[in-house]
Amino acid sequence: MLHCRANPSGRCEVLSLSDHPVFNSTYRAFLFDMDGTVLTSIAAAERVWTTWAMRHGVDVESFLPTIHGARAIDTIRRLGLPGVDAEAEAAWITEAEIDDVDGVFEVAGAAKFLRSLPARQWAIVTSAPRELALRRMAAAGIPEPEVMVTAEDVTVGKPDPAGYRLAARRLGVEPGQCLVFEDATVGILAAEAAGADLMIVTATHEQPIETLHGTLVDYDLVRVQVDAAGLRLHAD
């Protein structure tokens, strides 16, 4: 995966991991998306959504790429299916996903990395409902944070920045003092709109991404320095 900076010609100039500006910055907090960022639940989620899509006559192949990073209710509403109760269908999706955590596992090094962070300096911001988020984190061995923003905490999901702004506020910092770890387009847009710096986690990406943001394959490649000034990311 590529991260780059624009050179004078406007082309993408590829940077090594430790050259990216996020490694020269100190942050008051780290904010993490969940699915695809600290754990992967793609197989389980796609099993459930495939069943749902087939039941509603939705083309599975074109539909599945649209589910990642968004709240279930927003995904269903976006389809505009006649006669469909989005709240009831989203509740069905949630229960089915809670029951199916087969193949849910951490992104390499995520649990250890999260445990190295001070409790009041990190949060998870997920489009999943709280019960589902806790179920998946337990299945993957991800520690439960003191601060977690879930689907129930916002009226509008990603790409709206409300979730990241709320997490920063609960930690007592400004979004611009945070580094967000994200994987999906809607989450990346939400973090950008919130005014935070970004590290894009590419562990579940099937195609390379060209971006001005930092990119990270997994957490075995980084460590964090904690001091009175805040959190500083280092490449191993």
Q: Whole-angstrom Cα distance, residue 163 to residue 156? A: 8
Domain 2-40+104-235 is of which CATH architecture?
3-Layer(aba) Sandwich (3.40)
Beta-sheet strands, E only, within the chain: 2-6, 12-14, 26-27, 29-32, 39-40, 105-106, 122-125, 147-149, 178-182, 197-201, 210-211, 214-216, 222-227, 230-235
Residue of 33, 74, 183, 197 marked active site: 33
Contacts (Cβ under 8 Å, ≥6 apart) of 207:
none
Q: Whole-angstrom Cα distance, residue 212 to residue 199? A: 10
Contacts (Cβ under 8 Å, ≥6 apart) of 157:
70, 71, 73, 74, 127, 151, 163, 186
Dihedral angle of Cα 73, 77, 78, 80, to the nearest 10 degrees:
160
Residue of 35, 74, 183, 197 marked active site: 35
- Residue ranges of domains in the chain: 2-40+104-235, 42-99
Q: Whole-angstrom Cα distance, residue 24 to residue 29? A: 15
Summarize pLDDT for 27-53 with one digit per residue, the tens.
Answer: 999 999 999 999 999 899 899 999 999
Summarize pLDDT for 66-82 with one digit per residue, the tens.
Answer: 888 788 899 999 999 99
Per-residue pLDDT of the chain (236 residues), as tens digits, is 444 444 444 444 444 566 789 998 999 999 999 999 999 998 998 999 999 999 999 999 999 988 887 888 999 999 999 999 999 999 999 999 999 999 999 999 999 999 999 999 999 999 999 999 999 999 999 999 999 999 999 999 999 999 999 999 999 999 999 999 999 899 999 999 999 999 999 998 877 878 889 999 999 999 999 999 999 999 98
Q: Position 125: which residue type? A: V
218 a catalytic residue: no
pTM for the complete prediction?
A: 0.84
183 a catalytic residue: no
